Structure 1
Amino acid sequence: MTTTQRSSPIAAGFHPDPSVVLVDGVYYLVNSTMEYLPALPVHRSTDLLEWTHIGNVVTRPEQVDLGDVPTPGGVWAPTIRYRDGVFYVIVTVALGGRGCVVFTATDPSGPWSDGLSLRAVDGIDPDLAWDDDGTAIVTYARYPHAIQQVRVDLATGEALEQPRPLWVGSGLSTPESPHLYRRGGYWYLLAAEGGTERGHAVTVARSSSPEGPWEGCPSNPVLTAAGTRRPVQNTGHGDLVETPDGGTALILLGVRPVGFTQAFSPLGRETFLTDVDWVDGWPRPRPVLLAGGPARQEAVFDFADPAALDDPGWIAVRRTPAEVASLDGATGRLCLAGDGAGLDARRPVFLGRRQRHLSATVTARVDATVGVGGLAARHDERHWFALEVRTEGSAAVVTARAALSGFERTWEATLPAGEVELAIELRQPSRDIRAMWTGGDHIRLCAAASGRRVVLAELDGRYWSFETANSFTGRVIGLYATEGMVTFADYAYSGTDQLPDADDGPSAAERSEEVA
């Protein structure tokens, strides 16, 4: 099975730290979500190529307790496993919250348990395995020095022994994201090293016992994109799984940097798939390639539909979508009630979805007659850009805002009062040497009403990329309110990953648009 030639990425946009399990011919994938709720999306596949988002592990705030967790903390690096009819997801709620927690379910689409805290696990990136007598083994990273391990009682959460050092890695920095497997006569310990940036790498060791001692692979790191021009960089944090034809695949994270210099990644860390060969008893993952997907993907949410918010891809910041948004059946609109908090707040009134393509357009029709709000793209509290509408007399005043590390710039335009269509346009730059584009993607912030359309701002996306924001997330584009009641008729997303030709400047249509 040549998976890499047919599907990559398999979970596009903000989907870091993947883990996968195969149960009765069906694959289930989970990812980190940091400060967003619901947390830990669960995707399902029967072939490792086509995936469906079937639910989320964390749907209730008390399952993780994110209220006081600072950015970039939150729900980090889950592992999903299965044993005796039960699915397990073990995860760390980092920098506060509940620490290491194990959730269980008999149906991976949910509902999941309230979670069992493992107080003995004082690190990150926990893995769950079982030894020959059925005792649960948790292997985790104790940043920044080494991989550790402890046996636990999954009925009580108590440790059955003192945690012990397991492996210091191959010599690269920051050994983390351990996963333990039994194959033939060996236990294999897969890990990530080199940090989650350009030096990210996959390393592996093996032993006859889950406790070690561990022999590192002579070819470590067995996978890295460091120092290459591959279109997928930062490859690491992987999980091994059997393919439908009996081979082995590696599910792992990576980023897709844009432009000639491949310096900036607007979508953050995504989930990729590559085949694994076994050479002399060691796993050798193949380089991660990109495969062509559909020319364009569309998603339109009409808020007159009472099921518009049932899609599991809606997320909010440190609270659930139901806590910030509601549908008004009488008007057919989505309602957000501002509470005075802006996008720089820890708990903004914001309802969003992941940007999944390198070129995308997101639009929303907003009425801010009795409130202030609009459409925004968020990395975290200090890195976001937005189109905000307020009403002054007979005019709708639209303000484009761009926030970067505490600095904020604004642009303003006036349109007729009433409903305004807001648009965030994101365009992947050409990699052609003639373009010599050294920044990020091209961003345009636009607004239209009563037949008049204006471009309020054009931005270089390098300032809102994984490398600059470095908040462990990716772009989430959504609706927000800061004051009063703001209502929305719809939310539409259109995206493609097709590369443009060398950038020759704005099109004729773009040149004819009014610039605020």
Structure 2
Amino acid sequence: MQYSNPVIPGFHPDPSVCRVGEDFYLVTSSFEYFPGVPIFHSQDLVHWKQIGHCLTRQSQLDLEGCRSSMGIYAPTIRFHNGRFYMITTNVKMFRNFYVWAESPEGPWSEPIWPEWPSVDPSLFFDEDGRVYITGTGGFFGDEPKGIYQAEIDIASGKLVSERRLVWQGTGGKSAEGPHLYRVNGQYYLMIAEGGTEYGHMVTIARSALPYGPFESNPANPILSHRSTGSSIQATGHADLVQLEDGSWWAVFLGIRPVSVPFSGRHHHLGRETFLAPVTWSADGWPVIGDNGKIAEKMDVGTLPIALDETATPDVGDFNANQLGLEWNFLRNPRDEDWSLESRPGWLTLHGSEVTLNDTGSPAFVGRRQQHFKCSVATLLSFDPVHEGEEAGLTVFMNNRFHYEIALTRGGDGGRKVIFRRRIGSLWRVELEEAYEGNDIILGLDAEPAQYTFFFAAPNGERKSFGSGECSLLSTEVAGGFTGVYLGLYATGNGKRCEAPASFNWFQYKHNS
């Protein structure tokens, strides 16, 4: 029996995992999106269901004015003495913090802010009761770059030992993403190196003491797809977990680039979560996958494969009193910009002056694109009153790279459908057409290399209306660390909209 990689597709990078009895819990980075740090549950490491977010309040997650691909980096989740702990960095303010909860669904506590000048923090609860914080340092002054560690009082967040440089890796750039483990009396320090691009890799060292000196594994890296032709690239930033049967597994990030003729490989779905078995060599070193290589199809081995309960309906409505867990806002949402109550059964967005080109908080609700081939559609009801009032559907990578199909009011007072592309400093409404009604279906068909947009009157025939290359929204072109979102939005383009925009349903169908 085999399972398919990635186990969590779409923009879900920097996975961290812990086991509690027969249950597994996993978190990933969320950057400028709110709520922050999605948390997933599984009973087999293969099928993951989102059960909440760790950061659901502005007091936990300040993203005001946060630039794209800033915000929340590389969380770690651990369980100790009946509590879950999630530690991470808010790069907007360059501060580390952790929250805790007795239930993984939450509520999670207010942040505890240790004096820890680093990124990618991790916690390790040792058998003797000591707790260690480990992270990436070397950002200030003359401090050497590398992995730093200290003992911490987990109740207060205060350091109770000096902060020490414990390992600088094997020579690859950006030694980061550390996790400390204790296995058979030895301390293992596993990190990422090479940058989170095509040279990404996982390396490991060990010591008899938590502060080292650490001996580097002579077989490093233990995971990397650098300089290979694999369909999976940039594998790295791993976390280990041991099952009740004694076997070990690793979760880690990777990408699935699409080859574009004459312009190379591009990935637009973001960094995704992958899974591989871990074996141990005769001399006591972990080996991930097939000597550091993994595939899209992998043997389940001894995994206790459970019933897949992760499927969501193709068409979702807005009848509940809260948004589904798959939905996110860009930065901290304004209460006055959205509602599920002002028109029951609809998501209503009140467009503000903020546009998708800004680093503010637009009236935007989006979900990740998780499949190369998918079809998306929504029913919008909108009667724009003034010129520039606009609402529609966006394919959004960041504030400088996105496509829209929308309903708006033009300078002549008429209502029209527009298709627009924003690629860096290049911005253009490429198509526009008069439209008579207030209700309109907007949608797109995604293929690995292209988006094709369409619109239709309710119960009418759809009309193709523009296209855009996926590669122009890829990390290789747009930069950053996120992946494409499919979003519903409204804006007054510099002024607050008088007219609300209401969305009745959202369809996401995929076949790959």
| Fold shared, TM-score > 0.5 on shorter chain | yes
Which position in structure 2 is the counterpart of 1:158?
158
Q: Report the equivalent of 2:122.
A: 127
Task: Tell me, yes or no, if structure 1 residue 407 matches structure 2 residue 440.
Answer: no
Deviations 1:304-340 (A, max 9, x none): x235x44211100111486642124655321100111
Displacement of 1:188 in angstroms is 0.5
Q: Which moved more, 1:272-281 or 1:155-164?
A: 155-164
Shift of 1:425: 1.6
Tell me the residue number matched to 2:101: 105
Change (3 A) 1:331 1:174: closer
Distance 1:143 1:257, change over 3 A: farther
Indicate if the aligned counterparts of 2:8 and 2:273 stay in contact, CA closer than 8 A: yes
Instruction: Give the C-alpha shift of residue 64 in structure 1.
Output: 2.2
CA RMSD in angstroms comes to 2.2
2:270–2:483 contact (8 Å) kept in structure 1: yes
Question: CA–CA distance in 2 between the matches of 1:442 and 1:58?
Answer: 34
The question of whether the paired residues in 2 share the 8 Å contact of 1:298 and 1:495 is answered with no
Equivalent residues of 1:36, 1:315 under 8 A apart:
yes
Q: Alignment identity in percent? A: 35
Residue 173 of structure 1 deviates from its aligned partner by: 0.8
Aligned mate of 2:456, from 441, 448, 453 = 448
Distance 2:344 2:85 in 1: 42
Q: Distance in 2 between matches of 1:321 and 1:490?
A: 22
One-letter amino acid of the structure 2 residue matched with residue 255 of structure 1 = I
Alignment of 1:25-44 (within 5 A): 25-44=22-41
Q: 1:344 aligns with which of 357, 364, 370?
A: 357
Three-state SS of the structure 1 residue aligned to 2:18 is strand
In structure 2, how many angstroms separate the alpha carbons of the residues matched to 1:130 and 1:14? 29
Q: Which residue of 2 aligns with 1:333?
A: 346
CA distance in 1 between partners of 2:126 and 2:24 (Å) = 23
Aligned amino acid, residue 359 of structure 1: K
Distance 1:320 1:378, change over 3 A: same
Counterpart-to-counterpart distance in 1, 2:77 and 2:378: 36
**Matching residue of 1:434:** none
| Mapped partners of 1:327, 1:131: distance in 2 | 46
The structure-2 alpha-carbon separation of the partners of 1:446 and 1:254, relative to structure 1 and needing over 3 Å to count, comes to: same
- Matches of residues 453-468 of structure 1 in structure 2 within 5 Å? 453-468=462-477
Compute the TM-score of the two structures, normalised by the length of structure 2.
Answer: 0.89
Decide which moves more: 269-278 or 135-144: 135-144
Who is 1:55 aligned against? 52
Partners of 1:186 and 1:323 lie apart in 2 by 54
* Aligned 8 A contact 1:192 1:203 in 2: yes
> Are positions 1:478 and 2:487 aligned together?
yes
State the TM-score, normalized to the length of structure 1.
Answer: 0.88
State which drifts further: 386-395 or 234-243: 386-395
Tell me the CA shift for residue 135 of structure 1.
2.1
Corresponding residue to 1:276 among 263, 278, 288: 278
Q: Which runs of 5+ in 2 are unaligned?
A: 140-144, 299-307
Alpha-carbon deviation of 1:20? Answer: 0.1
Q: Which moved more, 1:158-167 or 1:209-218?
A: 158-167
Q: Which residue of 1 aligns with 2:303?
A: none
Question: Which residue identity does 1:390 align to in structure 2?
Answer: T
Map of 1:390 onto structure 2: 408
Counterparts of 1:321 and 1:180, CA distance in 2: 39
The answer to whether structure 1 residue 422 and structure 2 residue 436 are counterparts is no
Counterpart in the other structure of 2:215: 215
Q: Could you say which residue in structure 1 is the equivalent of 2:232?
A: 232
- Report the Cα distance in structure 2 between the residues aligned to 1:195 and 1:61, rounded to whole angstroms: 30
The one of 313, 322, 325 equivalent to 1:312 is 325
Report Cα offsets for 1:355-397 as digits up to 9, x if no partner: 1101111111112213421011212111111112114689541
Q: Compared with structure 1, are the counterparts of its residues 46 and 95 closer, same or farther at alpha carbon in structure 2 (3 Å cutoff)?
A: same
Structure 2 residue aligned with 1:64: 61
Check conservation: 1:342, 1:348, Cα contact below 8 A: yes
Q: Which whole-Å CA distance do the structure 1 matches of 2:178 and 2:194 have between them?
A: 14
Residue 263 of structure 1 pairs with residue 275 of structure 2: no
Displacement of 1:268:
0.5
Residues 143, 176 of structure 1: 8 Å contact kept: no
Q: Classify the secondary structure of the residue corresponding to 2:340.
A: strand
For residues 240 and 444 of structure 1, the distance between their equivalents in structure 2, rounded to whole angstroms, comes to 40
Q: Are 1:137 and 2:132 matched, yes or no?
A: yes
Aligned residue number for residue 148 of structure 2: 148
Conservation of the 8 A alpha-carbon contact between 1:38 and 1:320: no
Give the match's secondary structure for 1:222.
coil
The amino acid that maps onto 2:453 is: L
- SS of the equivalent of 1:224 reads coil
Change (3 A) 1:419 1:255: same
Do structure 1's residue 290 and structure 2's residue 296 form an aligned pair?
yes
How far off its partner does 1:220 sit? 0.8
